[in-house]
Every structure is written in structure tokens, then in C-alpha cells.
Structure 1
Amino acid sequence: MGRLFGTDGVRGLANRDLTAPLALDLSVAAARVLAEAGAFEGHRPTAVVGRDPRASGEFLEAAVVAGLASAGVDVLRLGVLPTPAVAHLTSALDADLGVMLSASHNPAPDNGIKFFDRSGYKLADEMEDRIEAVVGGAWEPPTGAGVGRVRDAYGAVEQYVAHLLSTVPVSLDGLRVVVDCAHGAAATVAPEVLRRAGADVVTIGAAPDGLNINEGCGSTHLDALRAAVREHGADAGIAHDGDADRCLAVTASGEDVDGDQIMAILALELRAAGRLAADTVVATVMSNLGFKNAMRDAGLKVVETAVGDRYVLEAMKEHGYVFGGEQSGHVIMLDHATTGDGVLTGLHLLSAVARSGRPLDELAKVMTRLPQVLVNVRDVDRTRAKTSPEVAAAVAAAEAELGDGGRVLIRPSGTEPMVRVMVEAPTHDEAKAVADRLAEVVRSALG
């Protein structure tokens, strides 16, 4: 069996890779490992379980709940709600463990399981390794009064909504907003939060049927949002993914605002409020050079990490930073959340518009996004991507050609026999030409 846990929990094709027996075994293993680590010492353990609206989430939720209860953990079923809501409520409800069933932006047939500790943070790699090591192993289950009890706590989402609203003192009164919920976990929560914040809200992608999550909508498909913003004369559009830990935006004229631009806007807001620790933003190596230039020009420092919100969060916690994220729209505001929260991000982005009295397209001009071309070179030996002299020479030549006006990143895939070639340049044509040339060198040297 290969490693179960990836960078964001256990994920795969539901009922094929991620089965009910595996979900049950994972939950039992998590309860056992946490008990052995002393997390339940002196009290009866409690877990909260939430899910997005995928059809497979129904049977996987049942399996997770059964596994936890059979291991002596009382379970609160939260129902359908965003991943960051589960993270928040794990702590707010004083639970020992949080479990979310979602495959985020993946299509409906996929699903996943992620665990949160009692503080609302994703479990550390070391804990995931320990869980994986005991999955399916022999154990002595409790009986009688020792088994866990199960009850529904669907109303607990109100605590999450109230928390989000408490983070922004500025009313959104006068703003018309279209929110695309990706037929996902935020279908109820996101429109409710924005309305209660004062916005005039138009909702799309808010009719989940278990099979249509992320289908032609949400943060990975912005066409529907662009059209709706124009149709309704909205001031802005907000797009979430299936579990609402991402947020992208669209201006009144239909221009995209990606995660880098959102981070740039919010970083300046935080700095102006005196709440940007060490005047530093944490971002990944995939953030656009335009973002880094904008932060430098504003006198802010950017700390780079590997790709993945897990690594952004690790750097933030280690060094005491409070703000970071990814180009994909995972934005972490550590003063208010323990993970990327798309609803929180959208609320603060719109608050920046309301507070400043300036339209979103004007705020987004804080950075100039350089054209970025990404080429995936498949079926090559990714392990030699960083050691090949041919690749190194080609990268050095490309960097010399681009100078300060561009950037090259050669990144081996963490899961596939593939190398990603990313180039930024002043024009798309220049970026594409350099990327294609580098891709050929990678293909020839590593194939």
C-alpha cells in the first residue's frame, strides 16, 4: 500500500480508492493514536464531523462516525459546511478532533478525509504517519458505556457565521455582490454571511445535488461568475471551491482577481491597520513575480515556501507571521482562522472595497501580474530535475535572457513522473517561447 496521506489528507476516487472500510479504519486509527498521545487524558473524548455535499460523503460520513464511536469517541455531526468551519468549530466546541469529508476543488466522484487537532490545525505529518501505521491493525474496542455516542449539531454553524462577521467592523451596505458557491459546502453559509454583512447578494452555484459540485462553476471555472456579474451590474464577484477554503474574485468589468492580487490587497489593509506581523507575507514559489515586486515596492517582505497551504501555514506558525496564501486562492488569516478560509477571505476583500470607497478593479492594480506560462513535461525522471547539468545550463541561460523582468521555476511533481516548467516574462509570447524551449531540454535530458 502506498502512503495514504498526501499534502491535504487522504484523497481519492470514492468507493474505489477511498472506501467505507478505509474511512472507518482511518477513524479508529486516529482515535487510537490520539488516545496513546494523551490527547484524551482525563476526559471523555469528542469529535466533530462535517462534509461537503458530495453523494459519497453520505456513506463516508456514516463510516467515519461509526469508526470514531466504536473507538469510544462521542461524535457531533455538523452536516454540510465548509472545511474552515469544521476547523473553527473543533476548537470552538472544545472537541478533541475534527474530521472533514471533502475533495475540495476535485470533481464529484472524488472525496477525501482530513483531520484537525483540538486547536483547529491540520494534524502534523508525524501524527498522520502514526495513524497510517496502525490502520487496520488489531485493537481492543470498548464495550458498554465505553462506546461513543452520536448526536447532530447542525446548528453549530451559526457560531462559525457569527465568528466571521465579528472579524470585520465595516458594513458592506451598498455593494452588490455575486457569489458562486460551486454547488458546494458554502451554498448556504457564504450568501448568509455576505447578506448579514450588509451586501446585496446574488447567488449562483448554490443548488448542490451531490453530483454537481465544482461542475462548470466555482473558483476553477470563472466564466459563469463573470457573466453573472455583468448581467446583474454587480460591484464584484466572489468564487469559492467545493469546500470553500479558496476564494477568487471578479471585478465589475469581468476581470479576474487571483489569489496573489487578493493577498496584495489584504496585506496592505493589514499593514495600514498595524496588524501585519513583521510587515511580512508568506507565499509559495508559484506566486507571480508581479506580487513579489508589488510587496517590495510597498516595503513589505515576502517569505517563500514550497507549494501547498500546509507549508505556508508551517512557516507562519514557526516565525509568528499572521498572513499568507497561494495564487490559487488559499488565503490564511491567522488572527481569525487556522486554515485557508474562502468565505473569510471574500468578506475581508469586500470590506477593503467598502472601507476604501474604491472599486475592486482599482484595488487590484496594486500589482501588475506578469504573464505566466506553465508546461507539464510528462513521463520523465523527475528525480533528476534538480541535478541535471543540461537542465541547469538551460535554466541559467533563460534567466540571463529574462533578467529582472522575468522568472523561471523548474519543479518536479510530488506524485507523478512529471516536471513542471513555469516561466514568467513581460509578454505571454516571450514566456511561452522560453517555457517551450526549456520543456524540450527537460524532455531530452530526463526522458
Structure 2
Amino acid sequence: MFGTSGVRGRVGDEVTCDLALSVGRALASEGYDRVVVGRDARESGRMLADAAVAGLRECGADVVRLGEAATPTVARSVGWRDADAGLVVTASHNPAPDNGLKLWNPSGQAFDERQRESIAARVREDDYDLAAWDGLGEVTAWDGATERHAEALTRAAAPGNLSVVVDVGNGVGQVTAEALRRLGHDVQTLNERADGTFPARPSEPTAENCRALAEFVAGGDAGFDADLGIAHDGDADRMRAVTGRGEFVAGDLLLALFAREAAGAGDEVAVPVDTSLAVDDLLAAHGVSVSRTRVGDVYVAERATDPGVAFGGEPSGAWIWPDETLCPDGPLAACRLAGLVSRTGSLDARLGEVERYPLRRGNVETDRKGAVVERVRERVSDAYDDVTTLDGVRAETDDGWFLVRASGTQPLVRVTAEARSESRTDDLFAEARSLVEDARSEREV
């Protein structure tokens, strides 16, 4: 039921009010007596949040409702409101027809595998502890969550005087613009009106989807001639950046910069298995080691609880500072990046410190992703000497690597390859993709 990012899928199909009701009942039945509930801007979120709240109350849990709020705002609010858990109704960067549910601990860490399985088991078995008529949970509203988040951001980031463009993407990450202004930056916003149909651009902040932001930041007749561009997904747990010249920054490069700033000699940085060697090389030069995890911010956050881990990040745009919160906090990342650039010069100049290796990522659609990856694992294990299966199948060669893994949220097999030359990267990527496509064809026969 749960993927790497909670429950997520098409509304009316995988995600229904019945499911939200059941998750609410299960959460309360597991002993989470006080739960914070928030949602992103998708219209379906209203009814799903209502259903989840009904299930929580029906099993005796009290509820603190935030309404529309960024996922990191909700996750942080669990601790701020002395709650036992948080529930966010969101599909994050997925398209408008989707929605989902994600659960949070008071530390800001998403529910781990054991916690998710406990909830899923109750839903499967229809095992709930329904309260008596006079033991139903109560509901209170809190409209101060976003303000509290903005205050926390201004304490956690350095001030500056940049010109910044924030593309909210019609999501719920408006807190970023507010916090940046309080930190002294001159801020312009794009697509600030919350609208869960995402009329301006798709929710996921990719290079293609952020072309308008890049053009605006770079200046010109209609541009702002800014120092920095920031882009969020629908619930603002992700943050991506654009340089003053209008270059969309690759996630691995941004990860390298954040990690270098956060970690010192002897520290560790938690990254997923699909992260570029550029991160390893930059950090190794400063005595910082890299600890690889499964792909998914929940796994990076779990590793970030280990002593000595100063930072955790994913190239997709999830950034975790464990000294602040274990939730990927896109607004916090935006404020810290602005502070870094203000203090050290242009983002373009900082990126020049990071080696760039050719890295390719792609997807192969299939409804049998698990079986396809297993077949690839069998073939790769026979053909390569250095193979790891922490998450999917990663094969190392003398001059590069490739990774084949099943998406945790979509019917896709993801393929990644990297080497120190363009031609070798192309060869490794083509080989990995061919393995996936052959395995898919076999399974479909």
C-alpha cells in the first residue's frame, strides 16, 4: 500500500475516501492520539482530508487541522503542536489527477518501514479500535503554522540582499517568498496562486518545466535580471534552483554544494544510490564520506539520524538538515541557498567548484516493474563482478556505473548511468536500458 513516499495514485482508483478513512482509523488505532492534518492545493484533498479526520476521530484521536500548507510545514507542526503524528494529503510532484497520504513523526521524519507496515496491516485486516459515542476525538484548527514556519526559516538561514525569483508552481510553498523577504532579499514570484490543477506548469520542477523561470531570471525585456531562481513542486518538499545566467542546476551539483557547506572533515553525508560521483569526489577532497541509501527521502532521513551524518539529500530536490528537521524542507533549502550565494558570490561561480561528469537518467514504463527489475538483476549478476542490490541493481565498472530500479511511486523502471566520458556514459545507459526493455518484453509475452 505504501511506496517510498507514502500512499500515492490516481484519485477514484488507487486513492479514495474509503482508503483515507481507513488510514485515519488505523493511525488512531495504533495509539497516535493527537494528529496534525494538512493538505496541498488539489481539490480532491478537501474530501480526502475530511475522510482521514473522520477516521481519526472515530477511533478516538484528536486532530489539529492546518488546511492548505506545505508538507514541511505540516511535518514540523507535529512537534510544534505536541502531536504524536502528522498526516499530509498530497501527491507532491505527481500530476493533478493524483493524490496521496504521507505520515510523519514528531521529529519531522516520515514514518519508517515498520510504522508503515503496521498501518497497512490494520487496513488490510480491517482491524480498528472504534471509540464509544462519548469517546470520539476532537478537532481544533491552527492557522499559525505557516507563520511559525517562516519564523523558523529566518532563524535557520543567513540574511542577504539578492534578487530572487520564486516559482511556487501553483502549489502551497508561498512561505518561501515570505521568509526570503524577511531575510532581506528582493523577491518576485511566479505562479503564486495555489491551484491544484497546476495550470502554469506541471508540478514537478524539472528543467523542462522550469524554462519560464530560467528565462525570467536571466533577464531580458520581460525578465527580472535576478541573482537566483527557486522552484518548488506542489507541496514544497522539493526545491530546485536556477543560476543568475538562467541555468537550471542539476540536482547532483546542488547536492554537492549543500553537502560541502553542511559537512566538515570526519562527517558523513547520506545520499541515494543514484547520486553522481561528482558528490563523492568533491566531499572526499575535504575529508567527508558518503553513505549511500535506497532512493527515497524516507531512507535518506533514516540514515540522517545516525551520529555523524551532517546532511542528507536527493538529486530530485529533497534536502535534509538533521539539525533542523528530518523532513525534506524545500523552503529551508531555498533560504539556505540564498544565504550561501549572498555570502560567497554567484551560484554560477560556486558550481564551478564541482566536477561535472556525464550522467543520464531515463524511464521505461511497465506495470510489472518488480518482475522486470528482478530479471535484470539475474542478468547483471551473471555479467558483472561488482554488483549491489541495496535498491534495484547497481553495476560498477572501471570507468562508470549504471543503476536499474523500480520507481516507488509510479509504474516505471528508472535507468541511470554515469561515466567520466560522454561516449562511455551513452554506452552504459544504452546497455542498461536495453536490459530493461528486453526484460519487459519477456514478461509481457
From 132, 140, 143, give the equivalent of 2:132: 143
2:175 paired residue number: 189
**How far has the Cα of 1:137 moved from its partner?**
2.1
- Partner amino acid, structure 2, of 1:384: R
Q: How does the TM-score come out when normalised to structure 1?
A: 0.87
Distance in 1 of aligned mates of 2:341 and 2:278? 21
From 154, 165, 178, give the equivalent of 1:178: 165
- Residue 21 in structure 1 maps to residue 18 in structure 2: yes
The 5 A counterparts of 1:394-413 are: 403-404=398-399, 406-411=400-405
Report the RMSD for the aligned CA atoms in angstroms: 2.7
- Partner amino acid, structure 1, of 2:401: R
2:383 paired residue number: 392
2:141 paired residue number: 152
**How far has the Cα of 1:303 moved from its partner?**
1.1
Distance in 2 of aligned mates of 1:394 and 1:214? 47
Distance in 2 of aligned mates of 1:328 and 1:242? 14
Is 1:375–1:436's contact at 8 Å kept on the other side of the alignment? no
1:107 paired residue number: 95
The 5 A counterparts of 1:408-419 are: 408-411=402-405
**How far has the Cα of 1:368 moved from its partner?**
2.2
Distance in 1 of aligned mates of 2:89 and 2:112? 18
Aligned pair in 2 of structure 1 residues 279, 9: CA closer, same or farther (>3 Å)? same
Aligned pair in 2 of structure 1 residues 306, 352: CA closer, same or farther (>3 Å)? same
SS at match of 2:352: helix
Is 2:109–2:302's contact at 8 Å kept on the other side of the alignment? no
Aligned pair in 2 of structure 1 residues 159, 124: CA closer, same or farther (>3 Å)? same
Kindly report structure 1 stretches of 4+ aligned residues shifted beyond 6 Å. Answer: 399-402, 415-418
**How far has the Cα of 1:377 moved from its partner?**
5.0
- Partner amino acid, structure 1, of 2:140: R
- Residue 12 in structure 1 maps to residue 9 in structure 2: yes
From 146, 153, 165, give the equivalent of 2:154: 165
Segments of 5+ residues of structure 1 without an aligned counterpart are 40-44
- Residue 425 in structure 1 maps to residue 414 in structure 2: no
From 82, 86, 92, give the equivalent of 1:98: 86
- Partner amino acid, structure 2, of 1:210: G
- Residue 268 in structure 1 maps to residue 249 in structure 2: no
**How far has the Cα of 1:217 moved from its partner?**
5.9
- Partner amino acid, structure 2, of 1:330: A
Identity %: 38
1:288 paired residue number: 276
SS at match of 1:381: helix
Q: In proportion to residue count, which structure has more helix?
A: 1
Q: Which moved more, 1:67-76 or 1:415-424?
A: 415-424
Q: Which moved more, 1:20-29 or 1:406-415?
A: 406-415
**How far has the Cα of 1:402 moved from its partner?**
6.9
Aligned pair in 2 of structure 1 residues 377, 101: CA closer, same or farther (>3 Å)? closer
2:391 paired residue number: none
1:309 paired residue number: 297
**How far has the Cα of 1:441 moved from its partner?**
4.7
SS at match of 1:147: coil
- Partner amino acid, structure 1, of 2:57: A
Number of paired residues? Answer: 424
- Residue 32 in structure 1 maps to residue 25 in structure 2: no
Q: How does the TM-score come out when normalised to structure 2?
A: 0.87
2:390 paired residue number: none
The 5 A counterparts of 1:11-410 are: 11-33=8-30, 35=31, 45-135=33-123, 137=126, 139=128, 141-168=130-157, 170-173=158-161, 175-186=162-173, 188-212=174-198, 215-216=201-202, 219-220=205-206, 221-230=209-218, 231-271=223-263, 276=264, 278-356=266-344, 358-376=345-363, 381-388=372-379, 392-393=383-384, 403-404=398-399, 406-410=400-404
SS at match of 2:38: strand
